[in-house]
């Protein structure tokens, strides 16, 4: 065991929680003195830390853009288009700027350089070569190739009315994608306002049916349409043709024409004879619902009586996803297999996931899909969709799964949107990315949640690794993690904490701890927070703490939370700075554990093998290229933490830039 005691208690200053709205309004003004003060303290502290850190100083990373790297880029707010929103079929940008009394947006004062903007582009997350992207669409595995389609604007880096389906393929590791020509473009009366989100169904004979939502241009009516690959034997599925008598489903009576979208993958119905069921999200008043349709041919559909499920007060349900997970403890193929969409019966539960248009979060519930009654019944009404669990507690939306029949895995894709100002997107030339694909299985230990883990191919994305065994960190310490290439890391860490302290500590029961209202990593308890500082620079002038906070819960038992603290992640204004996170179950005898992947401007965190996960999009100005560092920290007041950690440097897959025009355009 190596004891470490670099004392830095003032590092993560306690911030009094303030309401979210006020926080956004005040953030820019308040942070400046706090950051300056902290920076001075940290400068002194960093000197002692440097003795460690200097042993492995990285050379600056390569700048890939051919543009002038020094030329500053000033957001032109007047040129910016108004923010897009619900009525236009896309997620509203949550951060829309901070207006000063003068009426000027503070964000215009931040001068982004090309060097900073170029650095934000990720190296192992899926991104199109340019322009705007949102929801993942129709993911599938076909003849040895992974396919991802996605909502894409061929005309620029903002959501617009020419939303099309971008398309990329990869045959080996979900990393080395080939960008193909767009698959579908809004060019028919039934989809002139956009080829929106949809899903693929692989039929037993290997044929594919792709259902998507089209929106008409004049009345903005949302209808469901069918498309097929021109040549189903083509492993790349390059060409797609829309069905000649689309749309195949109109909004039924009583359903708002703008509230009817995002058909799911079809599953087999007990009615037999190739009868299949799909579900489509909608709302009735403020009640989120999902309708069920039956089809035998994907061209004619029958609306079934009632709804799959309804939850009052949850508003419009977008991107509904319904799939089975295995509850069996002994599985023939593997302990961790996923299931085909049509599997049901003994040893199977269903996950119902919906994306809430009202608050832009993805919620799910575990339950039973009764195929006779065509209804979903949650296991626990207190954990129903929108009341209980979220797929992710950070920036993550419109997720969609597919079944990889080759590996028997259910794989989840989800969209990470931008959290800065829209005006900056055209300067970068792109907006948004997809979170790394995760496999999704039932958590047989808790029985109350799913586990989401980076899909196994992600292991092959790593190159060099460094291991740190059994290191003891005193309360109030921060220690650099000596790894090169801290801009792109895959870190696994396990932590041991002396929980008997909960019996002796004067700390009162804190069952109501909540990452978002806690004040962040500066809120100190006897047993936490502890974790990593990522996307940080040597002086810690910018840093994103990802940490576990162990509070004293009911009956004096430990209650853990996984949090990501963005408040000091960027010195730039015009950037959302939230504290994300949620509780994570830790069972008796388990160590605390986390997996954290950083890819330039993205941090993806998983706790306890994926019981809880958090994504964040960061916009640093200092800790970029070779200046990026990672640290371990323990900001508990009483507990020492023993940690073991392995950090892998991940491979890069830099996509060609500038963009090579589509052969079709």
Which residue lies nearer to ligand DQQ by CB, 88 or 576?
Answer: 88
Which residue lies nearer to ligand DQQ by CB, 226 or 398?
Answer: 398
> How far apart are CB 71 and ligand DQQ at their closest, in Å?
33
> How far apart are CB 136 and ligand DQQ at their closest, in Å?
10
Which residue lies nearer to ligand DQQ by CB, 316 or 614?
Answer: 316
Q: Which of 550, 552, 549, 548 is nearest to 503 (CA)?
A: 552
Which residue lies nearer to ligand DQQ by CB, 222 or 269?
Answer: 222
Instruction: Render 291-308 in DSSP notation, one character per residue.
Output: EEEEESSSSSEEEPSS-S
> How far apart are CB 297 and ligand DQQ at their closest, in Å?
24
Sole window of 4-12, 57-65, 89-97, 651-659 interacting with ligand DQQ (rule: CB under 6 A): 89-97
Considering only residues 125 through 184, tell me which ones interact with ligand DQQ, judged by CB under 6 A.
134-135, 151, 163
Q: Which of 512, 265, 269, 508 is nearest to 373 (CA)?
A: 269
> How far apart are CB 290 and ligand DQQ at their closest, in Å?
13
> How far apart are CB 201 and ligand DQQ at their closest, in Å?
17
Q: Which helix (H) or strand (E) holds 35?
A: helix 20-53
> How far apart are CB 432 and ligand DQQ at their closest, in Å?
10
Instruction: Render 339-372 in DSSP notation, one character per residue.
Output: --TT--STTEEEEEEEEETTTTEEEEEEEEEETT
Which residue lies nearer to ligand DQQ by CB, 317 or 631?
Answer: 317
Handedness of CA 528, 531, 534, 538 (dihedral sign): positive
Sole window of 18-26, 87-95, 470-478, 531-539 interacting with ligand DQQ (rule: CB under 6 A): 87-95
Q: What values do phi and psi take at 495, rounded to 5?
A: -130, 140
319 scored as a contact of ligand DQQ (CB under 6 A):
yes
Which of the residues 28, 135, 173, 374 is marked catalytic?
135
317 C-beta neighbours (distance < 10 Å), count:
33
Sole window of 40-48, 88-96, 235-243, 380-388 interacting with ligand DQQ (rule: CB under 6 A): 88-96
Q: Is 618 a catalytic residue?
A: no
401 scored as a contact of ligand DQQ (CB under 6 A):
no
User: Six-digit token pair at 126?
Assistant: 């899926």
Rounded to whole angstroms, how far apart are CA atoms 384 and 375?
14
Residues facing residue 195 across a β-bridge = 214
> How far apart are CB 585 and ligand DQQ at their closest, in Å?
29
Long-range contacts of 463-467 (CB under 8 A, 24+ apart): 463/648, 463/649, 463/650, 463/651, 464/648, 464/649, 465/646, 465/647, 465/648, 465/649, 466/646, 466/647, 467/644, 467/645, 467/646
374 scored as a contact of ligand DQQ (CB under 6 A):
no
In contact, 532 and 630? CB cutoff 8 Å: yes
User: Six-digit token pair at 236?
Assistant: 């790349």
Sole window of 18-26, 85-93, 322-330, 595-603 interacting with ligand DQQ (rule: CB under 6 A): 85-93
Handedness of CA 171, 175, 181, 182 (dihedral sign): positive
Strands 361-370 vs 348-356: parallel, antiparallel or unpaired: antiparallel
Rounded to whole angstroms, how far apart are CA atoms 347 and 366?
13
Rounded to whole angstroms, how far apart are CA atoms 558 and 647?
27
> Do you know the residue count of the chain?
665
User: Six-digit token pair at 212?
Assistant: 């998507």
> How far apart are CB 123 and ligand DQQ at their closest, in Å?
25
> How far apart are CB 124 and ligand DQQ at their closest, in Å?
23
One of 91, 127, 224, 354 touching ligand DQQ (CB under 6 A): 91
Which residue lies nearer to ligand DQQ by CB, 11 or 311?
Answer: 311
Sole window of 86-94, 100-108, 119-127, 341-349 interacting with ligand DQQ (rule: CB under 6 A): 86-94
Q: What values do phi and psi take at 653, rounded to 5?
A: -130, 90
Please report which residue ranges of 505-584 form alpha helices under DSSP H: none
Which residue lies nearer to ligand DQQ by CB, 432 or 518?
Answer: 432
- Taking only Cα atoms into account, the Rg of the chain, rounded to an integer number of angstroms, comes to 25
400 scored as a contact of ligand DQQ (CB under 6 A):
no
Burial (Cβ within 10 Å: 0-12, 13-18, ≥19) of residue 71: exposed
In contact, 552 and 559? CB cutoff 8 Å: yes
Residues facing residue 356 across a β-bridge = 317, 361
In contact, 636 and 524? CB cutoff 8 Å: yes
213 scored as a contact of ligand DQQ (CB under 6 A):
yes
> How far apart are CB 206 and ligand DQQ at their closest, in Å?
27
One of 90, 325, 416, 614 touching ligand DQQ (CB under 6 A): 90
Which residue lies nearer to ligand DQQ by CB, 138 or 531?
Answer: 138
Considering only residues 38 through 77, tell me which ones interact with ligand DQQ, judged by CB under 6 A.
none
Considering only residues 563 through 622, tell me which ones interact with ligand DQQ, judged by CB under 6 A.
none
∠ CA 372-373-378 to the nearest 5 degrees? 110
Which residue lies nearer to ligand DQQ by CB, 261 or 283?
Answer: 261
Which residue lies nearer to ligand DQQ by CB, 263 or 528?
Answer: 263
One of 75, 89, 367, 480 touching ligand DQQ (CB under 6 A): 89
Distances (CA, A) of 363 to 177, 203, 439, 562, 647: 29, 28, 17, 17, 31
One of 95, 196, 364, 580 touching ligand DQQ (CB under 6 A): 196
Rounded to whole angstroms, how far apart are CA atoms 596 and 534?
9
One of 6, 108, 120, 197 touching ligand DQQ (CB under 6 A): 197
> How far apart are CB 269 and ligand DQQ at their closest, in Å?
25
Which residue lies nearer to ligand DQQ by CB, 319 or 479?
Answer: 319
Considering only residues 216 through 275, tell me which ones interact with ligand DQQ, judged by CB under 6 A.
261-262
Distances (CA, A) of 441 to 146, 284, 392, 408, 623: 20, 32, 15, 11, 36
> How far apart are CB 137 and ligand DQQ at their closest, in Å?
9
Tell me how many residues contact ligand DQQ (CB under 6 A). Answer: 15
Number of H helices and number of E strands within the chain?
Answer: 4, 39
Which residue lies nearer to ligand DQQ by CB, 197 or 419?
Answer: 197
Residues contributing to the site for ligand DQQ (CB under 6 A): 89-91, 134-135, 151, 163, 196-197, 213, 261-262, 318-319, 398
Catalytic residue list: 135
């Amino acid at each position: 065991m190596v004891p470490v005691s670099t004392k830095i208690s003032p590092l993560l200053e306690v911030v009094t929680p303030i309401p979210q709205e006020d926080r956004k309004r005040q953030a820019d003004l308040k942070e400046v003195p706090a950051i300056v003060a902290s920076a001075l303290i940290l400068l002194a502290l960093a000197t002692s830390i440097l003795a460690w850190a200097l042993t492995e100083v990285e050379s600056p990373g390569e700048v890939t853009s051919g543009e002038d790297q020094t030329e500053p880029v000033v957001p032109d707010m007047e040129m910016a288009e108004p923010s897009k929103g619900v009525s236009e079929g896309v997620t509203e940008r949550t951060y829309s700027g901070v207006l000063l009394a003068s009426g000027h947006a503070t964000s215009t004062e931040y001068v982004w350089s090309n060097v900073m903007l170029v650095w934000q582009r990720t190296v192992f997350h899926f991104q199109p070569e340019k322009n705007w992207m949102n929801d993942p669409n129709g993911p599938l595995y076909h003849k040895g190739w992974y396919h991802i389609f996605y909502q894409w604007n061929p005309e620029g880096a903002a959501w617009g009315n020419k939303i099309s389906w971008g398309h990329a393929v990869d045959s080996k590791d979900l990393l080395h994608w080939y960008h193909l020509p767009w698959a579908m473009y809004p060019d028919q009366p039934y989809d002139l306002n956009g080829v929106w989100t949809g899903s693929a169904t692989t039929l037993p004979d290997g044929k594919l049916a792709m259902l998507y939502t089209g929106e008409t241009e004049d009345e903005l009516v949302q209808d469901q349409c069918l498309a097929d690959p021109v040549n189903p034997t083509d492993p790349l599925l390059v060409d797609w043709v829309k069905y000649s008598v689309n749309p195949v489903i109109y909004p039924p009576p009583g359903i708002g024409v703008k509230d009817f979208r995002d058909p799911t993958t079809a599953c087999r119905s007990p009615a037999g004879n190739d009868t299949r069921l799909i579900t489509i999200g909608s709302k009735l008043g403020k009640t989120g619902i999902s309708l069920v349709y039956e089809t035998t041919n994907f061209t004619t559909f029958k609306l079934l009586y009632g709804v799959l499920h309804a939850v009052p007060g949850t508003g419009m349900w977008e991107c509904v996803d319904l799939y089975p997970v295995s509850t069996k403890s002994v599985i023939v193929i593997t302990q961790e297999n996923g299931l085909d969409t049509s599997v049901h019966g003994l040893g199977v539960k269903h996950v119902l996931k919906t994306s809430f248009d009202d608050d832009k979060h993805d919620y799910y519930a575990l339950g039973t899909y009764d195929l006779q009654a065509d209804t979903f019944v949650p296991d626990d009404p207190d954990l129903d969709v929108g009341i209980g669990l979220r797929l992710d507690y950070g920036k993550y939306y419109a997720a969609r799964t597919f079944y990889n029949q080759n590996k028997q895995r259910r794989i989840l894709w989800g969209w990470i949107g931008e959290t800065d100002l829209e005006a900056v997107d055209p300067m970068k030339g792109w907006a948004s990315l997809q979170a790394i694909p995760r496999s999704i299985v039932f958590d047989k230990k808790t029985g109350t949640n799913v586990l989401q883990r980076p899909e196994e191919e992600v292991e092959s994305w790593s190159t060099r690794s460094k291991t740190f065994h059994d290191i003891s960190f005193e309360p109030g310490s921060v220690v650099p993690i000596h790894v090169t290439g801290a801009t792109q890391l895959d870190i696994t860490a396990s932590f041991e904490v002396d929980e008997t302290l909960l019996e002796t500590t004067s700390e009162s029961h804190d069952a109501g701890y909540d990452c978002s209202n806690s004040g962040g990593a500066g809120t100190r308890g006897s047993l936490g927070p502890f974790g990593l500082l990522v996307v940080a620079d040597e002086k810690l002038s910018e840093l994103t703490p990802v940490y576990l906070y162990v509070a004293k819960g009911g009956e004096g038992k430990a209650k853990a939370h996984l949090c990501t603290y963005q408040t000091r992640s960027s010195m730039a204004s015009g950037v959302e700075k939230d504290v994300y996170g949620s509780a994570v179950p830790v069972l008796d005898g388990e160590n605390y554990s986390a997996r954290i992947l950083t890819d330039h401007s993205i941090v993806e965190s998983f706790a306890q093998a994926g019981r809880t996960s958090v994504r964040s999009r960061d916009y640093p100005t200092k800790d970029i290229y070779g200046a990026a560092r990672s640290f371990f920290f323990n900001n508990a007041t009483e507990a020492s933490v023993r940690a073991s950690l392995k950090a892998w440097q991940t491979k890069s897959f830099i996509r060609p830039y500038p963009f090579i025009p589509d052969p079709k355009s």
